[in-house]
Structures are given as C-alpha cells and as structure tokens.
Structure 1
C-alpha cells in the first residue's frame, strides 16, 4: 500500500488541441473553490492535460487505453445512438464526423458507414446484442458499483440518478460500461445474485454462457469512447466551442471523471489513479467557475457536484496517506466545508447542536450522512497532520495533536444510535478451537444495519491509530518503554475493532473502502492467527470485488518480517505469502547456491492475441517464442488455466533439454501484467528450495533494426513507452526482470497513421524469416542470463 510519492504537476497555461489560442483564465473566487489547498492548486487556466486527453500527448506517449500503438483506435463497435445528428457529444467520436453528418444530412443509403439493405437482418442482430450488453453493464453498475460511490450519500446519486442520465448522454453511458466491464474482468465475469431465488434471472442479468467474453477488451473499448466524448466536454468548458457548457453537461463531466477514477483504482492505484484525482481536483474548480459565468449564481451546490466532491474527498485522504503528502482539499477553510453540508464551527465544535445530532431520529439518513461526512473531514485533517513539516516545534505539534484528539473524542461521544452494531458474536480462531485457549485473541464479528455506519466506525478507529502512532513526545518524564506499551495496547484495541467490522462481511461498498484501515490494523496486530485473518479478508475482497490488494498485502508482509503467517496457495494472495515465506526460508539456511548450477528461466512473450494479430510486427515476441520452442525440441505450446490462461511449454512436460520454461501471453498488450504474474506464481512453485529463478520477457522494439536483439537487465529500466512492459512492471513489484527486445524496424514516416499501419501489418515472408532468424542470438543471450 505504501508507495513512493508521485509528483503531480501543477496546472500551467497551455494551448488546447485544435485551438490557436491559450485557454482563458477561469476565476476561482467561489466559496467552494477555496477548498482546494493553495499549496497544491496552482491558480491559472484549467488544463485538460490533467487527464492526458490531448490526443497529441495521449497517443504520442503510446498510452491509448488498450495498449496498442499511437493513433490505433481499438473501438470498432460503434453504437449509432452515440452519434445523433446535432447532438452536443457527436464530435467526440473517434470516427469521422464528416461521414456521419453527410450520411444523416442526405438521407440516402449511399454511405458505406452503415450496412446496405441486404444486411439489415444481420445488423439488427448485432444491434440487439450490443443493446443487451449495454443493458447488462448498466444494470451491473447500478446494482454493484454505484453503491460503492454512494457509500456516504443519502441521495444515492451514482446508483440511482446517473444511470438515468446515461440514457441521454453517451459520455456517461460509455463511462459506466467501461468501469462495469473492467470490474467484471477482474472477477472473471462472475456476477453474484442475492441468495437462491425461485424466479430465474432476467434476460438482461445474464449473457450467453457459451460465449467467453473478454471483459478487459470490452472495458478498453468503452473507456476509449468515453475519453473521446470527454474531450468535447472539456473543449466546451475551456471556451473552445461557440456554445458554453450547460450546468447539466458540466455536472455530467464531473460524474464521468469520478467514474474514470474508480476505473483506474481497481488495479492501477499508482499514476493512473492519481492522474485522474489531480484532474478531478482541477475540474471541480473549473466547473464552478463555468457555472458562475453562464447564468445567475446558484443558491447551492448541485446534487451531482456535491456527490462528486464527497467521492473525491474519500479518495483524497487515501491517496494523501499512501503518498505521504497533504490532501488536495483545504481542511481549514470552514466556510467552504459548511457550504458542502458540514456544521463545523469556528471554535472547533463539530455540530451546531450536538444533542440534536445524537438524539434526532426523524431524519435518520440525513444525520448519518452528516456524521459520516464530518468524519471524512476529520480523517483528512489527521492525514494533513501526518504530512506536516517535521521542523515544526514539538510544542506546536502537540497542540495540533491535542486538538485532533479532542475532536475525535467529541465525534465518538455524539454518535447517534444508528452507529451502533445491531449484532455481534465472538470470532472462533483456530487456536481457541483446537487448544482450548484464546491465545490472547479478542476478535469479534460485528454487523451494522447501515453500510455508512459500518464504514464510518472503521474510519474512526483508523484515525485513532494514526494519531496514537504519531503522538509528539512530551516532557512529562514518562519512560519511552511505558509510552510504547500504552500506545501499542490502545492501537491493538482499535485494530481489532476494524477487523471485527470486516469479519461481519458488510456490503461490498464497505469492503472496498476498508483496505487502508485493514492495512493499518494488520500492522498493529501481533498474533499470527489475527494476522492470518487480516490476510484472508484481503484475499476475499480481491476475489469478490475485483479491487487489487496485492500491493497492500506485499507491503504488510514486508512489515511483519519473519512473523508472516502461511496461507493456502490456491491463488492470489496465498501464493504471494507462500513465495515470501519461501524466500525467507532460503535466506535462513545460509547455504550458498552452487556457482556451477544455472538459473531456471521463465521466458515470456507479449503481444496481441488471435489470428488477427498473429505474425504482426507488434507480436514479434510471440513469433520468436514459437520458434524457440521448436529450436529447443519442445513439442508445442499448450494453454493452461493455472498459468494465467497462457500457452506453456516446459521441460517437465515436453522432455526438452535445459531448465527453461516458455510462456506466451493470450492477453492484449496493455493487460499483459496479470498473465505474467500468474505464470510467474505457477512457475515459482516448481523451483526447488534453495534456488532462485529469473523472469525474462520477449517483446517487439520499434526503431531497432529488423531482427536486432537487445537486452536490458538494469533494475527500474524505462519501459520506453511499451505498454506491455509497463503493465508487467506495475504488477511484479521488486521481482528481477530481464527484457529481450526484438527489433522490428521503423516505417518510412513517423506520422502516427503510418506507424500504426506499420506495426499492425502482417510480416512479409522476408520479414518473418528475419525475425525468426534471430533465435540463435536470443538463445545466446539466454545462456548469459541463466548464469546469473
């Protein structure tokens, strides 16, 4: 979970694509806008580059959503409803607008954009399938993902209002479909139903079981379309279009970017997620200024904008803690927070009337929202306290600490009855069941009737632990050992409260929100059984929700050191834990490896799957691995589910000489990492204790002579814009990686269209012979790598 801080650049004046003038400065004098911390917000024009949406930047960095090459759109399925003539969003399509306008304007069937008359029946079938898929995804978002975003929102804007807005708005429709498809991909298409029901699922709840859907590819399609539509909104917001953006459209843009941040957070909580958060922070200010200019002052913040703001606030404290920086939102501007619904007073009191908050029952949902939002503000303040300059005098730090501690006391003392658990039982640990004792464990399963209440209770104990572990030293004469014991005891109590809520298996919205509190709680717990419980909960969260927990687990394991519990190695986290323990056992033996023994190698290739991309230059790595299997005498590559559904050839099966295992990805380029990680996990199980192995990746390399072979082994070496390599580097952590690049030459022109056509074209016989002819040199490089 802990990662090196990432520098997010500030907004700077820029020219918007397609315009020959700089963006006009946008005023930031609205009360709400001052929420943005002056230390992190640079006053100036709104910059769409926060989102990497300028195509000249987006594609020049080889960063289109599906991991292909510059300007190679992967959206080949277009919903005609997205391009209604005269609609505001029509210009956002990757397709030719002129062709669409010509077709719509003439009323003839001469255009080749849509199928001719003799294909009407086929087109109707295709349209029905697409509508079915969109209905399936929108329903999945409404029932499963929308509640994640609405966790503390009494109006349930994302799950109830946004799907209705998507009926008229292509940006929202594609954003919803993108995040729903990606989440389905991460849970392997498994969609849970609520209990056993006599009535069969409706047609829109299921898809054809006989068709294996590549949800990651679907997600990339919808995401690419949504990004294209959002560019049009951004142009309107920046004043590049003749008609200013309406309030509804600006709200829709905020909602879409909020959904984009959820899309990235599922498995990319590094740069992609932070980039969208930084953009959303900038956009919140730009939208309010736009709304101020186009009409009379609004009496209050719109429901949509307030929902986006509070969703952003939840992400803000998490991102700030992970990266050890201050929050984007300015927690000290009380007037602005009051405009967003809080009642915090100038004297530090949290509510206008504490008794009313604690005892009022007629407006239960309103009170739960107020209390939950107040806690988010407190957590943001605690996070900023941790990120403050260490040069502050201890006395000043202690004053801030005492203030925060008193506010948390006041918060807990004024909690309404809704924040009490409605059921709880003692959790049976295995040590108690089999030995008759409790080994000092005091875990309890706790269940709340309100998801907001359950999550708020966890956040409260999370904030308490952070304060306890970061209390300034006073001069009262208390011994350091005594102070440590007191802090440790209190922190463990709060940690067990966090775990207790998690053991109650609350709604998925609560479970995805609890990863950071669980990480902190796990770091405080000392018993092996309790730590094992934390790991099991994290493992279940990833399996059930699709939210990646691998980085969190790896960091937790490193902090525990030699006291790591052992879990099942069926998949996922269990394999990570097992591998970590195995490495520790190897180090503890003290027996040096024989210098005469060569290292086992896992040799992976990345490319694009299917016959469409077979033997293209972009899949040169696959071509070399297939030829390498023949060269080594292996009988062929075969698909194995345990190995990330990749194609595998290894000596134990094929009888080839040497200790090399070949693996060929069956995923699209930008999704290579997950398959490589699964293959590496499966492969590591076969390495004898006391030995180490090495991961080698074969990939195409543009700008290198055709058939040329290059090797990179330096830790942290740049991916050089290769999305397959970036995907792998994002998931393997500190695993040593060697890269062998296969040169594919370069086109005559560096124009983007020419480059796209070049790398996706089929190899000529001469080019294929040249690529395959480098196998001898690849073998020589592998011989060097296996020597360590």
Structure 2
C-alpha cells in the first residue's frame, strides 16, 4: 500500500493537479488516506492500474520510474498482481462510496466523497471513455443538495457546497465538460447558475460575462439574488494564481460551446440527445442560432484578450514536417531554412505547462466554434462568391488553429499534463488533409500513451476512420 500511495502522489495525482497550484491531490490526499479508507482505496486503485499499464508486470520497467528506483519498498511490489489489485481496490472504493451516499455522510466529508469520484473517473478514463466513467459522473448533481431533484439554478449557495473545495470542484467540472464533448451531450452542471460559478472563483458580471481575475468581486455590483446568502463566497485559505482562474474560466466557456453544439437547433438544450425519430420537428431559427454563436465567440475573444504574458509563447522554432518523429525523445530537429509554410510547422514553447495546455484548449474551442458556425438564412441576399469566400476563410482559420495545437505538443510538455492534450490533438487531426500533418497527430497521440500509459489509440482509430471516409488514410 505504501508504494501505491507513493506512486499516486508522484504520478496520477499530478493529472488532477495540473491546473491547481494548491496541489490538493498530490499533497493533501496522500496525508488524508491515513484515516480515510474510502480515499485510500480509490487512490491505490488508480496507482495500481497506472503501474500495470505502464509496466505490464515487468519489474525492471517499474524500477525505471524515478520515485521507485531508490525506494526501499521497490521490490515489495514486484510480486504483486497489479491488475488484480487495481480491480480489488476499485471494488472496495465503490462499496465505500455507495455506503457514503446511502448513509448520507455529513457535509464535512463531502469533499472527500467527491474527491473519490474524481479519482475513480480517472481510473476509468485512463483506459478509454466508458459507461462506467459516465456512471461516476452521474454523481455530479449530488454536489448541490444531495438529490437530483435539487439540481437547478440557485439563488444562494447551497450549504452542501460550502464544504467542497475549489480544487475538487474544478477537477469534476473538467470531467463533466470532457464527458459532454466525447459523448456529444449537455453538461450535467448548470453553467448558467452564476451563484455557483462565482463562489468557485469566477468573476462574472450580472449579465453573465466574465471579468478579468484581477477585478475584485466587489465590482460585480448587481446581485443575482435580492436576499444574498450570508455565505456569499466559499472560504479560500490560499489565493489562487491568476493563471489557475483563467484556465478554469476557459473550461466554463468551453462547456457553453459544447452545450451550444450538442443542442443543435432544438428549443430545449437536450432535444438532440433523443434518437432522430423522437426529436421535435421544429426548432430555433438560424438568426437566433447565429446570435448565440456570436455571443460565444465574443466571450472566447474577451477571455483571450485578458490573458497575461504567461500565456504567450516564450519561443517558436520552425521545423521540417518531414523530419519529425515525436514518438522518440530526441533533440529537436534542425530548424528549417527557406522552405514553404506547407512543409513546416512551428514548435511553440511556453514557460508554464498549465498555460501551454490551456492555450491548446483555446485553439480547440476556436475550431469547434468556427466549424459549427450557423449559416445566415438563405433569405438574406448574398452571392455565391461571397459565401464560398467565407467558407474558404473558415477552412484556413481552422487549419491555423490546428497547427498551433500540434506545435504546442511538439515543443514538449511534462508527462503530468499530456493527458489533457488528447482531445485538442484529436480535434486538430480532424482539420488536416495532408498526410504529413495527419501522421504528426497520430505520432503525438501515441507518444502520450507510450509516455504516460494514458489510452489514446481509440482517438487514433477514430481519426483514421474519418480520414478513410474522406478517401485518405494515414497512420502507421
């Protein structure tokens, strides 16, 4: 158990702490497990599963991990069936979690319960998205008051949420948005309940627009509730860096973009989650959809315009596409000289890894918005020339954003952050038509799996299927 806790601290917990400078999962959780058996079982289950995926039972490969190499416990785990242990510990954590829900544990332990949910989500997602992963996320409505019926807009912060830390809350929000994107559904969390989002760190005006993190919450002068709760904000024992808050704000905007896309032209957000034959036969007008799209585009632009210098690249190196093989940890290839743009790509470096992957997500959001821009009504007079020019401009912008995503991964990112690059890379891969660019995406995705044990082949296969349907196929 000690070696599993050590591995959880040095490995999987880092995935959950990428955007949290408080390092809740890598610092606080390893301390809590001494007296919290539910949390201990979940953390050890994830650690065992990750070790199994990374090492496949090979003790020598296990000892290549820096935090195990010099440990006096290094040989204790050599004879352990890690696959069996991961399943056993997972089942144990599930039993504890079911008991906690059934017995209605006190609010003071809700933070622990939802930390377990976040860890178990990672346990499922490390293989590939599954029904079990979605089942864990079905616990999200219980964040509010303990029952699904209470999952609605609030006029004041529910008492149950006062005991959920910002770290745990945002780790679950990211899982919720990821699930909505992968499964093409609406988010489970209500993104328009501004009381909740304000209390977990976002500065939002009375009109629902984000304000820069540096703006004091007191500048939000129009209250949503006429009778504010005495618990107006979640107590924060340590101030979050501006980068953390900006990264979280982007997740909130991404959730709204995903909800816009998955709602189609339905009048109600969930109309298009029904099978085709059961959907309403009428919907929102193109003009209304375009207005909603423009508002989202404005929000994403406004977010980007508030970014500090830490979100700007520290350098760019132009490389030959034909010489790249990012599956190997070799020195960066020789910069290009006097070659065309189609044959090159920039490796884009950032000082702070969190900022790098946040900007990747921003480019992903741009691609999703551009590729899902509603058309103007055909009743609006426009020439064929103008419409086709507009389509070509969008296609060019989409490819530009896709190349930025790949360039950020190409410059090299720490293992702890790589799992968060999978979906942006997948979206980027959908934009390319050239074999070299497509192969680069395949290589970058496979590098994530080889370096971290995080499953990416399901995304590679999906890309190859889409490319084949378009008449081309790429990937070794």
**Aligned partners of 1:186 and 1:264: how far apart in 2?**
13
Identify if the C-alpha distance between structure 1 residues 556 and 200 changes in structure 2 by more than 3 Å, giving closer, same or farther.
closer
> Once the 2 structures are TM-superposed, how far is the Cα of residue 283 of structure 1 from its aligned partner?
4.9
Question: Matches of residues 236-635 of structure 1 in structure 2 within 5 Å?
Answer: 236-237=103-104, 245-283=105-143, 285-286=145-146, 301-302=162-163, 304-351=164-211, 365-390=240-265, 391-430=283-322, 437-438=339-340, 440-474=342-376, 475=380, 477=382, 479=384, 480-561=387-468, 562-567=471-476
RMSD of aligned residue pairs (Cα, Å): 3.0
1:149: which partner in 2? 16
Cα distance in structure 2, aligned partners of 1:287 and 1:161: 28
- DSSP-derived class of the 1:203 partner: coil
Change (3 A) 1:407 1:325: same
CA contact (8 A) 1:178 1:218 kept: yes
Q: TM-score, normalised by structure 1?
A: 0.49
> How far 1:231 sits from its partner (Å)?
2.9
Shift of 1:277: 0.8
* 1:140 and 2:45 are equivalent in the alignment: no
Q: Is the 8 A contact 2:12 2:47 kept in 1?
A: yes
> SS in structure 2 opposite 1:547?
coil
- Report which of the two has the higher share of helix: 2
Shift of 1:223: 1.1
Q: Structure 1 residue 236: deviation in Å?
A: 2.0
CA deviation string 1:532-560 (max 9, x = no partner): 11101111111222221122111100111
Q: Structure 1's 268 and 533: CA in aligned 2 closer, same or farther, altered over 3 A? A: closer
Distance in 2 (CA, whole Å) between partners of 1:226 and 1:299 is 22
Q: Is the 8 A contact 1:313 1:329 kept in 2?
A: yes
| 8 A Cα contact 1:233 1:250, kept in partner | no
CA distance in 2, matches of 1:478, 1:135: 69
Give 1:424 shift: 3.1
* Conserved? CA contact 2:319–2:347, under 8 Å: yes
Q: CA deviation at 1:136?
A: 1.1
Contact 2:120/2:136, CA 8 A, preserved across alignment:
yes
Q: Is 1:203 equivalent to 2:95 in the alignment?
A: no
Q: 2:99 aligns with which of 196, 219, 232?
A: 232
Q: Describe the superposition over 1:81-121 as per-residue Cα deviations: whole angstroms up to 9, x where unpaired.
A: xxxxxxxxxxxxxxxxxxxxxxxxxxxxxxxxxxxxxxxxx
Question: What CA distance in whole angstroms lies between the structure 1 residues aligned with 2:464 and 2:243?
Answer: 36
Q: Deviations over 1:633-669 (max 9, x none)?
A: xxxxxxxxxxxxxxxxxxxxxxxxxxxxxxxxxxxxx
Q: TM-score, normalised by structure 2?
A: 0.79
CA distance in 2, matches of 1:255, 1:308: 6
Pair 1:216-2:83 in alignment: yes
SS of match in other structure, 1:141: helix
The secondary structure found in structure 2 opposite 1:187 is: helix
| 1:107-144 superposed Cα distances (whole Å, 9 cap, x missing partner) | xxxxxxxxxxxxxxxxxxxxxxxxxxx11111111111
* CA apart distance, 1:228: 2.3
Distance 1:340 1:183, change over 3 A: same
Structure 1 distance, partners of 2:212, 2:323, is 49
Segments of structure 2 that go 5 or more residues without pairing to the other structure are 151-157, 218-237, 266-282, 325-333
CA displacement, residues 304-340 of structure 1 (integer Å, 9 cap, x when unaligned): 5432221111111221122222111111222221111
For the residues of structure 2 that align with 1:284 and 1:141, how far apart are their CA atoms?
A: 29
Which secondary structure does the structure 2 equivalent of 1:443 belong to?
Answer: strand
1:168 matched to 2:35: yes
1:506 positional shift:
1.0
Structure 2: distance between partners of 1:281 and 1:149: 20
Counterpart mapping for 1:103-142 below 5 A: 134-142=1-9
Residues 492 and 255 (structure 1 numbering): CA distance in 2 closer, same or farther, change over 3 Å? Answer: same
- Return the alpha-carbon distance in structure 1 between the equivalents of residues 383 and 292 of structure 2: 20
Partner of 1:5: none
Q: How many Å separate the matches in 2 of 1:273 and 1:518?
A: 21
* Higher alpha-carbon Rg: 1
CA distance in 2 between partners of 1:353 and 1:439 (Å):
37
Q: Find the counterpart in structure 1 of residue 229 from structure 2.
A: none
